[in-house]
A and B are shown apart, each in its own frame.
Chain A
């Protein structure tokens, strides 16, 4: 309101111009790196300096994606992987949050379960692959379970740390008003740990992707991870690269959605 009426000196103009210019240079450099990388890759493959049978090249990747869409039902594979990832993400986040709440609530539970959580956290979950296959078969169920397994421990630890970081003096204040434990939780601990919740979501998105692709590597008949492994086995590097590119795009979109969600909520709150 007031900012519009205010007359700025030329130094302000210079200052904002510098900021805009810095921003533009950053974007230009980012695009430049991408173009340079793809161009060099394509050129070297074209000149037969590198063997495009082993390294593939951008034009072949694009062609392969086209073929995948028209002949191999790419969207079906994307859908499968997306479904597994989102289910793994949602369940890991939900269970992680609830378990972290329980651990915050009960100091006894926290102390008793601590060594188990430490062991589970350090265990490479992929080692449980064979067990998961035996238990859940070779469908989406096994892969979702893998995604949950990989995501949940980090979700619990992140959230619990957020809950425990609640300002002691604020707890004291609520106690002096006569607040019970549930009120401390609902009025202070949960809203106060909201930023932690958002960062936990961001971490969990990444974890869910690791879980679902890893799961598909181990055991699957469909999905992007399946395409990548299959492509590797029959030495079709074009397929491997094409599936990886699609995966990259999906993962970025999902991360952006979470980031946007964060912005929306913060805006709504203010």
Chain B
């Protein structure tokens, strides 16, 4: 089987003192190895909740989540989480920021450090290893954040609107960079976004969610021609897909 992640009839209900909120209702889908999948849906529909479930930070009220053949129990360093802000630690150099997960997972071996080093070299951060995060631009910092999620070779990358804090120009560029890096390293990735164009230009598969409680509305596989997100944005089918998903969301 080539399936990496599977949701089977997953539901989640939040408890608050005065209320009970169903965030996710009977959601099922599967993701193959090497796929780039986007979740898109109205804001507040529980997209981020899905990532928290996959990360094992919260447990579903019912249903099963299977990652790599095993049911997810708790975070075990098998996935990399990338957030809206880069969340680099300002008191650590770029080099030290990147090996943070290795320290946490007690995998801080010279071999792994070398791998981290190689990734930094490969993706244009060779001369910035000794710098502190606030000396780098927003786009570079997001690249560092991405490399940090990859140094421990997780099976799956979770991207929670990682571009939305960047200005438009930088966003397109970083979008391209991230896409290239993920494809080059042959990673499986889940992207959560509210930007339809971002979802279309990056994804092999787009999962459209309904408003809360989130359930499945549609799954698309836009096979758009182009090597990179920026190229894909220029293709003819792009606007067709945009209109289609736009209508579904409204």
Contacts and interface: CB of A to CB of B under 8 A. Distances in A.
Interface of A: 167, 169-170, 172-179, 183, 187-188, 191-192, 194, 269-270
Contact of A173 (B81, B91, B103, B152): B81
A173 B87 contact: yes
B85 interface: yes
Contacts, number: 54
Contact of A178 (B85, B100, B105): B105
B104 A172 contact: no
A179 B75 CA distance: 8
Contact of B91 (A172, A176, A269): A269
Nearest to A183: B104
B51 to A, nearest CB: 9
A269 B55 CA distance: 33
Contacts of A191: 89, 91
Interface string B74-109: 111101110111010101000000001101110000
B interface, by DSSP: helix, strand, loop or mixed?
Answer: loop
Nearest to B56: A176
Given A167-B87, A269-B91, A172 B81 contact: yes
Contacts of A174: 104
B115 interface: no
Contact of B89 (A172, A176, A183, A188): A188
A176 B55 contact: yes
A interface, by DSSP: helix, strand, loop or mixed?
Answer: helix
Contact of B104 (A170, A178, A194): A178
Contacts of B89: 170, 187-188, 191-192
Contacts of A169: 83-85, 87
B218 interface: no
Given A191-B89, A270-B132, 12 more contacts: A169-B87, A172-B57, A173-B81, A176-B55, A176-B75, A176-B80, A177-B77, A177-B101, A177-B105, A183-B103, A187-B89, A192-B89
Q: Which of A167, A170, A172, A176 has the most CB of B within 10 A?
A: A176
Contacts of B75: 175-179
Nearest to A270: B132
Contacts of A176: 55, 57, 75, 79-81, 158
A80 B83 CA distance: 55
Nearest to A179: B104
B80 to A, nearest CB: 8
22 contacts: A169-B84, A169-B85, A170-B89, A172-B57, A172-B81, A172-B83, A174-B104, A176-B57, A176-B75, A176-B81, A177-B101, A177-B104, A178-B74, A178-B75, A178-B104, A178-B105, A179-B104, A188-B89, A191-B89, A192-B89, A194-B91, A269-B91
Contacts of B79: 176
Contacts of A192: 89, 91
A142 to B, nearest CB: 41
Contacts of A183: 103-104
Nearest to B84: A169
B151 to A, nearest CB: 10
Contacts of A177: 75, 77, 81, 100-101, 104-105, 152
Q: Which of A173, A187, A191 has the most CB of B within 10 A?
A: A173
Contacts of B132: 270
B164 to A, nearest CB: 14
B155 to A, nearest CB: 13
B115 to A, nearest CB: 16
A167 B83 CA distance: 13
A16 B100 CA distance: 42
Nearest to B55: A176
Contacts of B80: 176
A140 B81 CA distance: 55
